[in-house]
């Protein structure tokens, strides 16, 4: 049986091909230090696991969840946003429960755009944004994220046609892959753009908990008027090391939230209720596990950056996320440098061009292995004699 045209036009899964290359090297018996992945390496905190175990034993959780998720989880999301960002959220109309943030990112073009409509995406950016483009059969233009602009899009560079035609605009801070962060002033500028041109804003806040040097990443919804123009997607994957649990939520504009819930009514019957109970525990319990995790990543960041600078690799420390965005040396492309590191040093990194045209010239490195392995990885690079 032949696949549909919609399936045929889906983009190649960038991370799947990266995993294949790494796995092939490992199967050859090589000791690969994998810095290319984005999978948290720490376990889910014990109190969250125990909450799931207890909830899974309760027969009431063996039944279908309410279609749009439990009220308790939505209230917990609202309480979380009030505590962390002083943002008021109505749990009844401004929260949508998601099977991880990725689902919402792919669903939103399907719910709010017609075929041929235009959306604006960051470049470099999370490759799976393009999955929503393809499934909804919409057009997209990219907004370059450049070092000289602190990896923020320059809205003045958008053409009048782009501003008038765009229906959705995606942002992601702390940013994957650059590690950049945004300010409330930038988000205020975003709200102004959206209001003037009737553009829906989607802020991917997957790394919202992870900021360095004592700087807490800001939420898009902290900008005045943000809920009138957009939504923010939050996942428990990174904050609580719950990547495999597939649990997150969208908060913000009630019309956009209603659209997500309507589509999901036709696709799902929400998450396993026991997972939702565990998510409530994660969001509402004391947050020392998150504070410890940030310290862990900050220590790894310090090790990586100091080791890079020691060998003469001129790099900048990320301001947030658990990624570092490292420039490739002269006479290499992103892809050729990544291939060299894997082939000659058994170090896996993600080539920057996999995140878009403006990712060329960089590789993405994850802070997702122990400090001694980070140090060893840079020592292996040093032996190549490039720097």
pTM greater than 0.75 (yes/no):
yes
pLDDT of residue 122 exceeding 80: yes
Residue 14, pLDDT above cutoff 80: no
CA dist 162 and 144 (Å) reads: 14
Label residue 12 by pLDDT band (50, 70, 90): confident
Return d(Cα 201, Cα 190) in angstroms, integer. Answer: 8
pLDDT in the model for residue 153: 98
From residue 165, how far is each of 138, 171, 326 by CA, in Å?
Answer: 12, 18, 34
Q: Is the pLDDT of residue 291 over 90?
A: yes
Res 355 pLDDT > 90? yes
The CA–CA distances, whole Å, from 260 to 106, 171, 244, 247, 291 equal: 10, 18, 22, 15, 32
Closest listed residue to residue 263, CA positions, set 122, 132, 126, 128 = 132
Condensed to tens digits (0 to 9), the pLDDT of residues 208-218 reads 999 999 999 99
**Shortest CA distance to 174 belongs to which of 132, 128, 126?**
126
15 pLDDT band (50/70/90 cuts)?
confident
**In this predicted structure, what is the pLDDT of residue 54?**
98
Q: Which of 287, 347, 325, 38 is nearest to 177 (CA)?
A: 325
| CA–CA separation, 175 and 204 (whole Å) | 9
Does residue 378 register a pLDDT over 90? yes
Q: What percent of the chain has pLDDT over 90?
A: 93
189 or 16, greater pLDDT: 189
Place of tokens 């604006």: 120
Band of the pLDDT at 20, cuts 50, 70, 90? confident
The predicted model gives 284-288 an average pLDDT of 97
Report d(CA 138, CA 168) in Å as an integer: 11
What does the pLDDT look like over 144-160, one tens digit per residue?
999 999 999 999 999 99
Q: Is the dihedral of CA 97, 102, 105, 111 positive or negative?
A: negative
> Average pLDDT of the chain?
96
**Is 22's pLDDT higher than 90?**
no
**What are the strands, taking DSSP E only, across the chain?**
33-34, 95-98, 118-123, 139-144, 166-171, 200-204, 230-235, 248-252, 323-327, 347-348, 350-351, 362-366
| Domains annotated on the chain, with CATH | 5-44+288-383 (3.90.1150.10), 63-284 (3.40.640.10)
Backbone angles phi, psi at 104, to 5 degrees: -65, -40
**Lowest-confidence range among 32-41, 174-183, 226-235?**
32-41
Least confidently predicted of 10-14, 20-24, 194-198, 284-288: 10-14
Range with the poorest average pLDDT among 2-6, 95-99, 342-346: 2-6
Three-state SS for 233? strand
Average pLDDT on 167-193 reads 98
For residues 94-99, give the mean pLDDT. Answer: 97
Under the banding of pLDDT at 50, 70 and 90, the label for residue 25 is confident
Mean pLDDT of 33-43: 94
Q: Which residues of 74-105 are buried (b: 16+ CB within 10 A; e: fewer)?
A: bbbbbebbeebbebebebeebbbbbbbbbbbb
Mean pLDDT along residues 285-312: 98
Is it the case that residue 229 has pLDDT exceeding 90? yes
User: Residue 346: which region, alpha, beta or left (left: phi > 0; alpha: psi -120 to 50)?
Assistant: left
Per-residue pLDDT band at 222 (split at 50, 70, 90): very high
Query: Going edge to edge, which strands form the sheet with 230-235?
Result: 95-98, 248-252, 230-235, 200-204, 166-171, 118-123, 139-144
């Amino acid at each position: 049986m032949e696949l549909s045209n919609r399936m045929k036009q889906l983009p190649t899964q960038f991370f799947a091909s990266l995993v294949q290359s790494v796995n092939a090297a490992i199967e050859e018996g090589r000791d690969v230090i994998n810095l290319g992945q984005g999978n948290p390496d720490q376990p889910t905190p014990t109190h969250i696991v125990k909450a799931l175990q207890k909830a899974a034993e309760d027969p009431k959780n063996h039944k279908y969840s309410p279609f749009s998720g439990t009220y308790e989880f939505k209230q917990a999301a609202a309480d979380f946003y009030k505590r962390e960002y002083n943002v008021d959220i109505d749990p009844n109309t401004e929260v949508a429960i998601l099977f991880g943030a990725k689902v919402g990112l792919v669903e939103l073009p399907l719910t709010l755009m017609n075929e041929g409509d235009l959306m604006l995406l960051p470049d470099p950016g999370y490759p799976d944004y393009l999955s929503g483009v393809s499934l909804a059969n919409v057009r997209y233009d990219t907004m370059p994220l450049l070092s000289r602009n602190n990896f923020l899009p320059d809205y003045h560079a958008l053409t009048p046609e782009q501003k008038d035609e765009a229906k959705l605009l995606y942002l992601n801070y702390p940013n994957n892959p650059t590690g950049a962060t945004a300010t409330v002033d930038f988000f205020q500028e975003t709200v102004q753009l959206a209001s003037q041109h009737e553009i829906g804003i989607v802020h991917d806040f997957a790394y919202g908990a992870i900021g360095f040097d004592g700087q807490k990443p800001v939420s898009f919804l902290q900008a005045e008027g943000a809920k009138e123009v957009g939504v923010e997607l939050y996942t428990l994957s990174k904050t609580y090391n719950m990547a495999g649990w597939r649990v997150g939520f969208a908060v913000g504009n009630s019309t956009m939230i209603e659209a997500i819930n309507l589509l999901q009514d036709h696709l799902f019957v929400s998450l396993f209720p026991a997972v939702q109970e565990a998510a409530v525990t994660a969001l509402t319990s004391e947050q020392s596990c998150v504070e410890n995790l940030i310290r862990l990543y900050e220590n790894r960041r310090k090790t990586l950056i100091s080791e890079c600078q020691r060998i003469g690799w001129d790099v900048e420390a990320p301001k947030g996320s658990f990624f570092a965005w490292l420039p490739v040396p002269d006479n290499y492309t992103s892809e050729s440098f990544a291939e060299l590191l894997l082939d000659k040093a058994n170090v896996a990194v993600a080539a920057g061009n996999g995140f878009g045209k403006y990712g060329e010239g960089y590789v993405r490195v994850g802070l997702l292995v122990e400090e001694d392995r980070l140090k060893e990885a840079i020592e292996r690079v040093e032996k190549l004699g490039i720097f």
